C-alpha cells in the first residue's frame, strides 16, 4: 500500500541533508510543520514551513521542554485512517493528519562525551522527540517515521513513484524503535554510572553496527561488528584500518587480545597472538629488538598470527614483519616508510591505534550464554610492587627472578586457562594454554620452548592443586614461581618448592581466562 504524505513534521538535531530533503518534499506538495532551530534553518533556506506553535495553538514553553506534546500532534500521527470512530474524533476536534515524522534526537551522547555538567546533560534528554517517533512507528501502516538521514534518498525516490511502500514504512519503524531504544539505554547507562550502579535490575546495552563481517568464527555463521557509545579507551573499536582485506570476526577477537596484552607494558613491547593466546611476547630496548625476541618464542605458531606493538612501526620493523605471513599488524602509528613497505602486501591488514595509554574504561565484560548474558568487571588488576608479595618458601627470589616473575605474571593473565608461562625477565620461553590439567599445561609450555629453560621462571594463572607441576618445573630448571596460592594443598606445594630450592611468591589474585 503506497501512501503519498500530505503533511510532514520535521524536528531534527542532526540537520545534515535536511534542507534538500524538505525541498524534495515540497516538490510533492507536502506541507511542513517544524520546530525551533529546524524551523529557522528551513525558513532561512527558502522552505515554507508552519511553526509548531501556530499548528498547535500553543507556544513552545518551559524553555522548549514542551512544544510537540500536544493532542493536535499525536492525534494527527496516531489516528487510524480507516477507523470510523477515529475519524469522527478527528473531525470533532478539527485535527489534521500528519503522514510523516522526521525526527532525530537531542545530542545527549555528545553532551556526556564532552564532559558537561549534570544539569546540562539532563536538558539534553529528549522528551517530545521519542514520543513522536514511537507514535509514528506504531502507526506505520499510515505514517512514515524517519530517524536516519541516510533514508532521505529512498523516501524521495518512492514518492517519485507514487508514495512510500508499506514494507518501507515497516522497515523505518524497525529502525525507529532501535533508535529510541539505544538512546534510552545510553541515558540509563549514564545514570547507572553516575550513581555507581554496576549491576542494575534491568539492563539494555547500547551498540551500533560498525561493519559487517564476511562470516563469524566459521564460514557457516553470519556476523557483524558493533561498537558501544561513550567508551573512550583505545581499542579495536577505535582503531583505523589503513590497508588490507576486510577484517573477520576472528581478527576482531584476536586484535582485542593482542592490544590488551601490549597495554600491560610501558617499555617497548611486542605480542604475537594466535587464536587469542600469545605465542610470543617480549620487551626490549627498542621495538625491533622486542619483535625478534617475541618471534623466537614460537615462530611456527606465529605464522598467520597477529602482531601488536606499543611503539611506531618504522621501515626496519616493517621489512622484518614482511618476511612472515601475518593477518594483522597493529600499532600506535606507522611511519610513511613503513607504509610504503607494506603496500606490497595488499592483503595484510594494518590497524593504527593512536596513543594506547589513555584512560582505561571501567565498562563491564559481557559473555553470552544461551538465554542470557553474564556481566563482570574487566580484569584490570595489576601488581603495584612485586617485592611486597608474600614469599612462603625458604629461598627468597633474586632481583632477576622478581623482574622475570613480574613479566611472566603480566603475560599469564592473557593466556587461556589453565595457563602456564615460562619466561626470562623480558621474553616468553614457553606457553601452555587451555589445558584441562595444570600439569599438562606445564608440560606443553616446556615442550614448546626453543630456548634453555634452566634459570627461567614460571607463572600460573591459578593455584596449584597438586605438587606435580612444581616437580615438572623443577625438572626443567625453573628457579622461581609466581601464582595466586590459596589451594588446600599449598603446604604440599610450598614443601615441593623448598625441596627443589625454588623461590615462590603468592599474588593472592587469580587470573582465570575462559
* Catalytic residue of the set 15, 86, 138, 245: 138
* Catalytic residue of the set 6, 70, 275, 339: 275
CB 451 within 8 A of CB 296: yes
In 57-165, where does DSSP find H-type helix? Answer: 71-78, 84-92, 108-113, 118-123, 128-138, 152-160
| Residues comprising the chain, all counted | 514
CA distance 57 to 67: 10
Q: What are phi and psi of 151, to 5 degrees?
A: -90, -5
CA distance 310 to 356: 7
- Burial tier of 335 (Cβ tally within 10 Å: 0-12, 13-18, 19+): middle
CA distance 212 to 330: 20
Whether a cis peptide bond, with omega within 30° of 0, leads into 55 is: no
CA distance 388 to 281: 25
CB 33 within 8 A of CB 55: yes
Q: What are phi and psi of 128, to 5 degrees?
A: -65, -35
DSSP H or E segment with residue 330: strand 326-331
Active site (annotated) includes residue 138: yes
Active site (annotated) includes residue 175: no
- Burial tier of 289 (Cβ tally within 10 Å: 0-12, 13-18, 19+): middle
Q: Give the residue numbers annotated as catalytic, written as ranges.
A: 138, 275
Amino acid at each position: 500500500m503506497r501512501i503519498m504524505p500530505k503533511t510532514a513534521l520535521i524536528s531534527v538535531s542532526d540537520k545534515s541533508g535536511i534542507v534538500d530533503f524538505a525541498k524534495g518534499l515540497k516538490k510533492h506538495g507536502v506541507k511542513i510543520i517544524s520546530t525551533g532551530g529546524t524551523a529557522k534553518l528551513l525558513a532561512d533556506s527558502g522552505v515554507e514551513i508552519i511553526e509548531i506553535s501556530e499548528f498547535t495553538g500553543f507556544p513552545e514553553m518551559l524553555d522548549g521542554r514542551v512544544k510537540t506534546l500536544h493532542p493536535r500532534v499525536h492525534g494527527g500521527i496516531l489516528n487510524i485512517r480507516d477507523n470510523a470512530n477515529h475519524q469522527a474524533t478527528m473531525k470533532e476536534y478539527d485535527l489534521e493528519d500528519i503522514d510523516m515524522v522526521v525526527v532525530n534526537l537531542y545530542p545527549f551522547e555528545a553532551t556526556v562525551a564532552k564532559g558537561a555538567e549534570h544539569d546540562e546533560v539532563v536538558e539534553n534528554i529528549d522528551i517530545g522527540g521519542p514520543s513522536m517517533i514511537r507514535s509514528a512507528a506504531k502507526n506505520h501502516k499510515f505514517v512514515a517515521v524517519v530517524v536516519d538521514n541516510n533514508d532521505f534518498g529512498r523516501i524521495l525516490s518512492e514518492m517519485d513513484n507514487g508514495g512510500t511502500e508499506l514494507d518501507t514504512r515497516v522497515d523505518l519503524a524497525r529502525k525507529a524503535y532501535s533508535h529510541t531504544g539505544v538512546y534510552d539505554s545510553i541515558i540509563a547507562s549514564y545514570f547507572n554510572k553516575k550513581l555507581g550502579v554496576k549491576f542494575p535490575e534491568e539492563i539494555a546495552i547500547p551498540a551500533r553496527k560498525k561493519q559487517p563481517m564476511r562470516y563469524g568464527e566459521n564460514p557457516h555463521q553470519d556476523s557483524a561488528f558493533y561498537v558501544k557509545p561513550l567508551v573512550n579507551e583505545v581499542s579495536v573499536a577505535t582503531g583505523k584500518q589503513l590497508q588490507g582485506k576486510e577484517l573477520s570476526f576472528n581478527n576482531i577477537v584476536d586484535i582485542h587480545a593482542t592490544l590488551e596484552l601490549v597495554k600491560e607494558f610501558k617499555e617497548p613491547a611486542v605480542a604475537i597472538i594466535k587464536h587469542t593466546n600469545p605465542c610470543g611476547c617480549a620487551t626490549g630496548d627498542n621495538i625491533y629488538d622486542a619483535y625478534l625476541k617475541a618471534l623466537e618464542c614460537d615462530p611456527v605458531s606465529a605464522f598467520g598470527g597477529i602482531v601488536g606493538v606499543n611503539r611506531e612501526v618504522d621501515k626496519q620493523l616493517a621489512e622484518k614483519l614482511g618476511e612472515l605471513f601475518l593477518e594483522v599488524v597493529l600499532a600506535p602509528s606507522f611511519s610513511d616508510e613503513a607504509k610504503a613497505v607494506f603496500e606490497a602486501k595488499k592483503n595484510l591488514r594494518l590497524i593504527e591505534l593512536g596513543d594506547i595509554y589513555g584512560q582505561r574504561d571501567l565498562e563491564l565484560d559481557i559473555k553470552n550464554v544461551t538465554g542470557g548474558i553474564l556481566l563482570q568487571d574487566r580484569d584490570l588488576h595489576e601488581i603495584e610492587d612485586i617485592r611486597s608479595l608474600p614469599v612462603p618458601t625458604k629461598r627468597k627470589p633474586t632481583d632477576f627472578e622478581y623482574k622475570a616473575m613480574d613479566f611472566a605474571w603480566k603475560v599469564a593473565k592473557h593466556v587461556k586457562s589453565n595457563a602456564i608461562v615460562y619466561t626470562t625477565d623480558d621474553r616468553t620461553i614457553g606457553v601452555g594454554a587451555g589445558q584441562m590439567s595444570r600439569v599438562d599445561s606445564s608440560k606443553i609450555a616446556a615442550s614448546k620452548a626453543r630456548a634453555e629453560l634452566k634459570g627461567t621462571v614460571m607463572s600460573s594463572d591459578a593455584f596449584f592443586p597438586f605438587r606435580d607441576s612444581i616437580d615438572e618445573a623443577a625438572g626443567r630448571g625453573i628457579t622461581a614461581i609466581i601464582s595466586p596460592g590459596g589451594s588446600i594443598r599449598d603446604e604440599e606445594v610450598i614443601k615441593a618448592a623448598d625441596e627443589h630450592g625454588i623461590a615462590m611468591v603468592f599474588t593472592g589474585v587469580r587470573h582465570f581466562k575462559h
